[in-house]
Structure 1
Amino acid sequence: MAAEDPSVSGVSGRYATALFELARDEQSLDQVKADLDKFEALLNESADLKRLVRSPVFSADTQLKALSAVLDKAGIAGTTAKFLKVLTANRRLFAVSDVLRAYRALVAKFKGEATADVTVAEQLSDKNLDALKTALKSVTGKDVALNVKVDPSIIGGLVVKLGSRMVDSSLRTKLNSIKNAMKEAG
Structure 2
Amino acid sequence: MIRDIIAKRYAKAFFAFASEHGVLDQGAREVREFADLLVKHKDLHDVLSNPVYETSERKAVLTTVLSKVGISDGVRAFLLVLTEKNKMKYLGTIVTHLDLMVDEAEGRLHVDVVSAASLDETTVARLRQKLAELTRKDVQLSIKVDESLIGGLVTRFAGMVYDGSIRTQLNNLGENLIKEW
Smaller-chain TM-score range?
0.5 to 0.7
> Which one has a bigger Cα radius of gyration?
2
CA–CA distance in 1 between the matches of 2:139 and 2:128? 6
Gap change, CA 1:63 and 1:86, over 3 Å in 2 = same
Q: Which amino acid aligns with 1:54?
A: S
- Tell me if the contact between 2:59 and 2:83 (Cα under 8 Å) persists in the aligned partners: yes
CA–CA distance in 2 between the matches of 1:106 and 1:135? 26
Cα shift at 1:146: 7.1
- Tell me if the contact between 1:108 and 1:114 (Cα under 8 Å) persists in the aligned partners: yes
Write the deviation string for residues 42-80 of structure 1: whole angstroms up to 9, x where unpaired: 012112122123323222111111111221211112211
Q: 1:31 aligns with which of 23, 26, 36?
A: 26
Q: Which runs of 5+ in 2 are unaligned?
A: 115-121, 148-153, 166-181
Correspondences of 1:16-95 after superposition (within 5 Å)? 16-95=11-90
Taking every aligned residue pair, what percent have the same amino acid on both sides?
A: 26
Q: Which amino acid aligns with 2:129?
A: S
CA–CA distance in 2 between the matches of 1:110 and 1:75? 26
Q: Which runs of 5+ in 1 are unaligned?
A: 1-5, 120-130, 149-153, 174-186
2:131 paired residue number: 140
Cα shift at 1:147: 8.4
1:108 paired residue number: 103
TM-score by length of 2: 0.65
Q: Which amino acid aligns with 2:110?
A: T
Cα shift at 1:137: 3.8
- How many residue pairs get aligned? The number is 150
CA–CA distance in 2 between the matches of 1:134 and 1:63? 48
Partner SS state of residue 105, structure 1: helix
- Tell me if the contact between 1:71 and 1:77 (Cα under 8 Å) persists in the aligned partners: no
TM-score by length of 1: 0.64
- Tell me if the contact between 1:13 and 1:99 (Cα under 8 Å) persists in the aligned partners: yes
CA–CA distance in 2 between the matches of 1:136 and 1:71? 42
CA–CA distance in 2 between the matches of 1:61 and 1:117? 42
CA–CA distance in 2 between the matches of 1:38 and 1:48? 17
| Larger displacement relative to structure 2 (47-56 or 59-68) | 47-56
- Tell me if the contact between 1:136 and 1:144 (Cα under 8 Å) persists in the aligned partners: no
- Tell me if the contact between 2:31 and 2:75 (Cα under 8 Å) persists in the aligned partners: yes
Partner SS state of residue 161, structure 1: strand
- Tell me if the contact between 1:116 and 1:147 (Cα under 8 Å) persists in the aligned partners: yes
